[in-house]
Chains A and B, each alone.
Chain A
Amino acid sequence: MRLAHQRQYPLKPIRRLRSLGLVPVVLTGIALTGCASLDLGDVFEIAQKSAPAVQKSFEDITPEQEYYIGRAVGATILGQYSPYTEPEPTEYLNLLGRTLAFASDRPETFGGYHFLILDSEEINAFAAPGGLIFISRGLLACADSEDRVAAILAHEIAHVVEQHGLQAIKKSRVTSALTSVAIASAQTAGSDELAKLTTVFEDSIGDITSTLVNSGYSRAFEKEADLMAVEILKRVGYDPNALVRMLEVMETRLEPGGPDFAKTHPEPKVRIAEIRKVLAEAPAPPVQAERQARYQAALGNL
């Protein structure tokens, strides 16, 4: 599946290569068949249009910087929520999440994908840039199978793949972080520069966390994450309709005006309608006994 808006690396180099690879073929074709209507100017114009434009944006934030941004977002979230520290559910969630991430379009990030349960009854989840993913006990309680937990995690992984968090940073900050202020190491950084850069960093983290916790992503981003989650579920062999079933349960449990998904996400029925446009309704596949047993053992008593 190719979504309209795709994350830019690592696919960008692939696409760039592909487009470069096509240039000679296309141009040869034009040259051999279309001489009567083309001149050199046209040829070079076509070649130029194939070249990628250079501009400073969230895509220029390196995976290394994304990693530090994600850690700060994670620390901020953990300033508001306590972690649920039982090892068995946490290990299961990391095994399941890592499996899903392997099947995504971006299996590798600078620091990798890691998952933590938040000890909260809220129905909530946060994906920090770079792959630190937080899921509340309240959201996990909406699931009753591994497939449905996989649906939640796949949606959050999709936010990381698509770099939705980085896109919440105001453009002016990205520009100042990437161009005007550049420090490389303790040897070269003056304290003024470090202070300036830390302010930009702090404001960027503020942009992301206020989006994650208060305003939520755009409906378009949520749709994109839902559709990519469906694709990941299919690749791994989970029931792609598990996401719809999760949303149906959330529909009954989310309270209007609540501090959680009720505030930051489109209504479940709106999301279901979008998913239904690409995914036909299908009966749930038969329960696979071992899958259900390990789900119950790890998360059944959460």
Chain B
Amino acid sequence: MRVKCLLIIAAVLLLSAGLAFGQSVKQMSVTVKETQVRATPSYMGKILAVLVYGERVDVLAEQRGWARVRLDSGEGWVHLSALTTKRIVLQSGSRDVGSGASSGEVALAGKGFNQEVEDKYKKDNNLDYTWVDRMGAFAVTPEQVLAFLEQGGLNTEIGGAQ
């Protein structure tokens, strides 16, 4: 019984060490067109940098929906809804695509439903995308949101990790 116990403890410690190591080098990819890195885990935090689709970041910690990421100079926060644990491969010829696509760890940008499919679908169905494009261009800045919340007597801490 004692030997069995020791074996279990050894296995557990090994497993813990392995998992801890895995977490310390965690990388995530930007899964939206563009996202902002902020000084604090809040949409009202100062913007330090902008990341685009497919960029990879080292994630140092996570806090209530936000990831603390490493920047060239210092650190910042990105909302986890803008990140994925999958590696996003922008180049179709990359070796990563072939080796990882089946494991579900790699997402190939532009694969499947993409701009080409949209173009053909639009043409085949004679659809007008004018207002869809206009909608996509409606922009609201965090400053406008903050002013809107303040003026309306609402909670200015929304979307934060506080």
Contacts and interface: CB of A to CB of B under 8 A. Distances in A.
Contact of A110 (B8, B33, B108, B132): B33
A132 B118 CA distance: 16
Nearest to A7: B81
Contacts of B109: 64
B79 interface: yes
Interface stretch (A20-28, A211-219, A266-274): A20-28
A111 interface: yes
A212 to B, nearest CB: 15
A172 interface: no
Interface stretch (A136-144, A197-205, A242-250, A257-265): A197-205
B152 to A, nearest CB: 4
Nearest to B129: A75
B87 to A, nearest CB: 12
A16 interface: yes
Contacts of A76: 127
A9 B84 contact: yes
A23 to B, nearest CB: 6
Contacts of A294: 151-152
A120 interface: no
A182 B111 contact: yes
A65 B113 contact: yes
* Interface core residue of A30, A65, A105 (most chain B CB under 10 Å): A65
Contact of A43 (B12, B82, B111): B12
Contacts of B92: 184-185, 187-188
A35 B112 contact: no
Nearest to B152: A291
Nearest to A103: B158
Contact of B1 (A35, A43, A62, A205): A35
Contacts, number: 237
A71 interface: yes
Contacts of A54: 104
Interface residues of A, number: 89
Given A40-B7, A290-B153, A291-B153, A177 B12 contact: no
A181 B112 contact: yes
A130 to B, nearest CB: 10
Given A23-B15, A28-B12, A108 B32 contact: yes
A24 B20 contact: yes
A40 B11 CA distance: 8
Given A27-B16, A40-B8, A186-B116, A10 B80 contact: yes
A35 B5 contact: yes
A16 B132 contact: no
A242 B115 CA distance: 40
B49 interface: no
A286 B46 CA distance: 33
A108 B81 contact: yes
Interface string B70-96: 000000000111111100000010000
A95 interface: yes
B108 A184 contact: yes
A74 B134 CA distance: 12
Interface of B: 1, 4-5, 7-9, 11-13, 15-16, 19-20, 22-23, 26, 28, 31-33, 35, 43, 53, 62, 65, 79-85, 92, 97, 101, 104, 107-118, 120-122, 124-125, 127-129, 131-132, 135-136, 138, 140, 144-145, 148-149, 151-155, 158-159
17 contacts: A9-B81, A10-B79, A23-B15, A24-B12, A28-B13, A74-B131, A79-B128, A94-B138, A95-B148, A99-B158, A107-B81, A194-B116, A202-B124, A205-B121, A236-B149, A238-B154, A291-B151
